[in-house]
Amino acid sequence: MSSLTARRPAQSKTPLQLWIAWLPAEKRGLFGAVSAQLDISYNILSVAFNETIALRAQGSILQAREGLGLTADLFDRLRGQLLMVLRTVHEQTRNMSALPSVTPLNRENFRSSIGDRIARVNNILSHILFSGRSRFFHKLHSLSELAEDLALRFRQSAEEVAESVSMAPTLEWESLGTLHLDMNICLLETVIVLKSFLQLLPDDALRAFHQKLLDESKRPVGTVCIFSP
C-alpha cells in the first residue's frame, strides 16, 4: 500500500475500500459481535427451513406445514435484528458530518419480486439524489423496507401453505425459498453498511453507539421509515 493510499481520508474511500479496510481493535470487536449474531440467526432460520423442506420431500406434509410456523417466527426475529442495526446506525449518523459512500442495491442479486422492486427504486434514486448523504440514508431505508417486506411476505405465504388455502402450494414453497435467499442478501448488505459506518464513526462515539445497540435490542421493532437524514 502506498503512503498516499494510507493517508487517504476514510470519507473519500470507495465502498469497496471501506469494506476491506482494517478496523481498530475495539470497533472490530463490536462489528464481529453484531455480524456474528446476525449470521447465527440466519443459520438457525436456514436449518429450520431446510428441515421443513426435507419433511415435505419425505411426504410428511402435516409436519412440514407445522414447521413453517416456527420458520416464520425465526424470519421475523432476523427481521427485527436487522431493523435494530439499521435504525441504530441511522440515529447515530444523523449527527455525523462525514458519512460513508454506498453502492445501490444490485437487482441481479435478488430473486423475488420484492427484492427486484426495492433494488430497482434504490438504483433509480441513487442516480437522482445528488448528495452522498442522501444516498446513504436511502440505502438504509431500502434495506429496512426490504427486511420488512420479505418477512411479511414470508409469513403470509407460510400461513397460506400451513392452512392449505394456497391455490398453488408448490409455487408457494418455491416462493418461500426465494424469500429466504433474498433475506440473506439483505443481511449481507446490512453488514457491509455497518462496517463502512464504523470506519467513519469517531472513536470517542463508539461506546455510545454500542449502548444504543443494547438499548434498541430491548424494545420491540416496528415498521421503520428512515428516509430523512
Residues 209 and 1: their CA atoms lie apart, in Å, by 31
Per-run averaged pLDDT (10 residues), the chain, 229 residues: 45 85 95 96 97 92 90 96 96 91 96 97 88 92 98 94 73 94 98 97 94 82 44
| pLDDT at residue 2, rounded to an integer | 39
pLDDT at 129: 77
**Residue 12 included in any domain:** no
- The pLDDT value recorded for residue 6 is 42
Q: What is the model's pLDDT at position 8?
A: 52
Q: What are the start-end ranges of the H helices in 113-168?
A: 113-128, 132-162
Listed in sequence order, the residues at least 6 apart from 18 whose beta carbon sits closer than 8 Å to its beta carbon are: 10, 100, 101, 195, 196, 199, 200
Q: Which three cell numbers stand for residue 39?
A: 449470521
Structural domain boundaries enclosing 164? 24-216
Contact 67, 48 (CB under 8 A): yes
Whether 188 maps to a domain, the answer reads yes
> For the chain, how many structural domains are there in total?
1
In this prediction the pTM is: 0.89
Residue 7 domain flag: no
For the chain, the first-to-last Cα distance in angstroms comes to 35
pLDDT value of position 221: 53
Residue 14 lies in a domain: no
Cα atoms in the Cβ-side hemisphere of radius 13 Å centred on 109:
15
SS3 state at 227: coil
pLDDT of residue 226: 42
Domain assignment present for residue 108? The answer is yes
pLDDT at 4: 39
**193 lies in some domain:** yes
Q: Which three cell numbers stand for residue 227?
A: 428516509
pLDDT at 208: 93
